[in-house]
Amino acid sequence: MKPTLPTRTAGRLHKARSEALTVQFSSCLFINSASSPDHEFHTDGAFSVMKTTVLFLTRAQRLCGSRAACLSRLSPKAGLRSFSTSPAAASRLREILSISDEISEAVATNKPVVALESTIYTHGNLGNDLAKEHLDLVRSHGGIPAIIAIVDGRPKVGVSYQEILRMIEDKSTVKASRRDIAYLVGMGLNGRKIHGGTTIAGTMLLAKAAGIRVFGTGGLGGVHRGGENSMDISADLTELGRTRVAVIGSGCKGFLDIPRTLEFLETQGCLVSTFADGRQGSVDFPAFWARDSGIKSPSTVYTEKEAASIIYAQEKLGIESGMFFANPISEEHGIPASEMQAVIEQAVREANEKGFTGNNNTPYILGRLRQLTSDKTVVANKALVHSNIIRATNVSVELSRLLSPGSTKTGSSPLSQSPISTISRPAGATSEPAPALSPVSNILVAGSVAVDLSCDYSSSTTGITTPQSHVSNPSRISQSIGGVGRNVAVAAHLASGGSGVQFCSMVGDDVAGHTVLTSLEASGLDTSSIMKLDHRQHPEGRTAQYVAVNDGNKDLVLAMADMNIFSKNSFSDHWRSTVTTSKPKWLIVDGNWAPPQIRNWIRAGEENEAKVAFEPVSAEKSQGLFCPERGLPRLNLYPESSISLASPNTYELAAMHTAAKENGYFEPMDWFEVIDAFGMRGARDRFVHLTSVELTDAGVPIQTIQLLPYIPTILTKLGSRGVLLTAILGKDDPRLRDRDEEAFILTRSPPTHPVVGGVYMRLFPPVETVKDIVSVNGVGDTFLGVLVSGLARGGRVDKLVDVAQRGAVLTLKSAESVSPLLGTLAEEVQNASNR
């Protein structure tokens, strides 16, 4: 009687199923059971296999029972997409897998993330700068790159370029496939820190755990020639059969057995489809360096949007196998298959003769092909990887759109009516590269948000108006959401008619953070770029809070502020990616960030051709802009100024000027050259004429002049006295020839000067005198938000100052830090922008 599988055994095995233990059966099951006296070979092959299977499963049953707790940690439910609702599971995975803040946030909000393997970098054969090229490439096409590797014995998603360089320099760095990951991590837990460059299989495994759906790479491993005897089959293929990640590469290298590779992938349940790349009908599966292999692709896709729809459908259907989208090398860089065939045959023959097998086979053949083709394969290799990463980014962008709320998932027809096939398209149909994400904002505000608590002493029985120390005092406590960045963003949002403004900030994963997010979402502000920091990874990740204790007359007695979340957490690649994706016309940065972060924000704006406005926040924090430059990105001077505009009050202006002077910003020759072009000799009388004796004696005009080379437009807020505008006029500025503006031209530069035309200085009186002020909180923030909302529409600063002042007046009359009535100015802002 043939043995049967006990029901209880099957049930326990099913329960313990995990990615850490996969039991597969086929007609070619080989199990090393030589140590068991129960194992014997019979001529009845089916009986032998069944008997061996029962013995193996019985042992597996005992193993699963004793390892239940360990296996549960590595189950598919541990993936980020699944454990996002389970803090306990998330915490367990974070103990092993390191995921950068940028990637965590991007996955959680369905932004277009692209996984990149690290083996291609760590072997160093294609140059040490390759990783940086690929990171920049993904970002330039609207995606967020995620290099994956084992760094110091810990799997990491979101590896930096500096870490890759360190791995390249370390000669002990190894190649890490699925089988190697637990070994490397286990050694790391025991103090032996080993780097591992992940292969396609290793990268897929960790990408899935991090919730990443799309992976761009070079080429796929496959079945080696003679694999039916040697069983030399790449782990990439089995990984594609069990890990739902879409891999985009240029097919298989020509020295592999491509027909058997495709047969193996079919058995594994992996979709294989090739991009038509401008061709019609059925197309060949590519052979890495060659566009055509002579083997027809199982299916064809024509656009990145089609590929994204397939990925979307696979996920919704719950199919756990992966997908491989083959992207043929361009005609320009491809090497014809006929040309490659001879050198491949020679390299394969030599590898066999010299005994290069297993994981030594491919490196030897690749090195030999490089020699035999005089580096043509290397040039083609770099070009195809470049193309694949662009294709992967475009697919990820399209998938992000499908996953976004409110998107049309299936277009005008149901999924069932759009099968993947090789049916020819109408004549003229070509592959349509997906564009990068369209800009989501005209204005991006990077700054603080905080919960403000106001404690007003309210003793009505004793007549005492001051709270007493060391005892509990009766009070009226009110809560609001504030923060300079938040105020500026809300003001710009309202003055822009409720669109085009994006807010970047940080909150903690705490009650205050949830309160902040709820409030911002209720205001209609885009909060997709607000990072929520986990306390375990960010000890200083508490949501910012400000507590004011006021006396009975509402005058401040004591205040406590916790703003460490902005000063203690470093600038993340997430922020740079946000600016790149949004491509704003204006980037507003407030001074609550630590000086290095302020510089990094400014640099991100410059890199994406955004004009940068700086809001100083306070006299102390305003100095962060002109801190010592050691190790920081340099502030460029006019005409390539890093900053376009700043809006200090007189105290902040004086503090900025002092910091710039003390830290050597007035010493470079290029600063002197700009100042000299102004022709400022004997300017005091002109200062008095254009401003006042009081402001001139306080040094306000000269301070703005000396800061102009770094900030060519400065709006000094003077409270009840109005606003002083000081600006550099370019050589072709129309105001230099406008008679109505003649009175405000402080100086004119020599006509021969190549860039500077003169200096504009104008004191704008207040638009209204407010007698019954409700609150001064947020008035300056409102002014800047309204002003930039007009600048982003193409307006000129001198035409917008008055409407910005009217916005500030509305906030003066409001109990809110930003008046909810600002929306009534949207039309006026638009009209002022058109003047």
- Please report the pLDDT score of residue 730 as a whole number: 96
Nearest residue to 260 via CA among 289, 291, 229, 282: 229
pLDDT for position 95: 65
Output the CATH code of domain 77-212. 3.40.1790.10
Query: In the prediction, which pLDDT does 155 show?
Result: 96
* Residue found under tokens 């007009």: 790
Identical fold for domains 77-212 and 218-412, yes or no, is yes
Query: Looking at residue 51, what is its pLDDT?
Result: 38
CA atoms lying within 13 Å on the CB side of residue 19? 26
Q: For residue 123, what pLDDT is reported?
A: 78
Question: Phi, psi (5° rounding) for residue 331?
Answer: -60, -35
- What is the structure's pLDDT at 531? 86
Cβ atoms < 10 Å from Cβ of 677: 21
For the annotated catalytic residues, the residue numbers are 117, 253
- Measured between alpha carbons, how far is 507 from 476 in angstroms, rounded to an integer? 26
Q: Angle at which helices 130-140 and 161-169 pack, to 10 degrees?
A: 160
**Distance in angstroms (rounded) separating the CA atoms of residues 34 and 601:** 64
* Residues 304, 654: Cα–Cα separation, whole Å: 54
Which bin fits 38, alpha (ψ -120 to 50), beta or left (φ > 0)? Answer: alpha
Question: How far is 750 from 762, CA to CA, in rounded Å?
Answer: 21
Share of the chain above pLDDT 70, in %: 82
The answer to whether residues 595 and 624 touch, using CB atoms and an 8 Å cutoff, is: yes
Strands 723-730, 756-764: pairing kind: antiparallel
User: Structure pTM?
Assistant: 0.53
C-alpha distances in Å from residue 729, one per residue of 458, 586, 662: 54, 20, 27
CA atoms of 152 and 178, how far apart (whole Å)? 17
Question: How far is residue 47's CA from residue 741's CA, in Å, rounded to a whole number?
Answer: 100
Tell me the HSE value of 245 on the side-chain side, using a 13 A CA sphere.
33
Taking the CA atoms of 59, 60, 64 and 70 in sequence, report the sign of the dihedral they define. Answer: positive
Residue type for 681, please? R
Angle of CA points 500, 504, 506, to nearest 5°: 150
**Distance of alpha carbon 137 from alpha carbon 149, whole angstroms:** 19
Q: E strands within 483-580? A: 501-508, 530-533, 545-550, 556-562
Look at residue 64 in the predicted model and tell me its pLDDT: 41
- Residues 58/9, Cβ–Cβ less than 8 Å: yes
Parse the chain into domains and list their residue ranges. Answer: 7-73, 77-212, 218-412, 616-717+723-764
pLDDT of residue 789: 96
Alpha-carbon gap, residue 15 to 62, rounded angstroms: 13
* Low pLDDT (below 70) residues in the chain: 1-95, 227, 254, 358-359, 374, 405-441, 460-462, 572-573
How long, in residues, is the chain? 835
- Nearest Cα neighbor of 822 from 801, 799, 804 is 804
Reference 806, options 829, 788, 789; nearest CA is 829
Closest C-alpha among 33, 60, 6, 25 to residue 41: 33
> Does residue 503 contact residue 525 with C-beta atoms inside 8 Å?
yes
Instruction: Kindly provide the residue ranges of all beta strands, DSSP E only, lying in 162-270, ordered along the sequence.
Output: 174-176, 196-198, 214-216, 246-249
Distance CA 103, CA 114 (A): 10
Domain 218-412: top CATH class: alpha beta
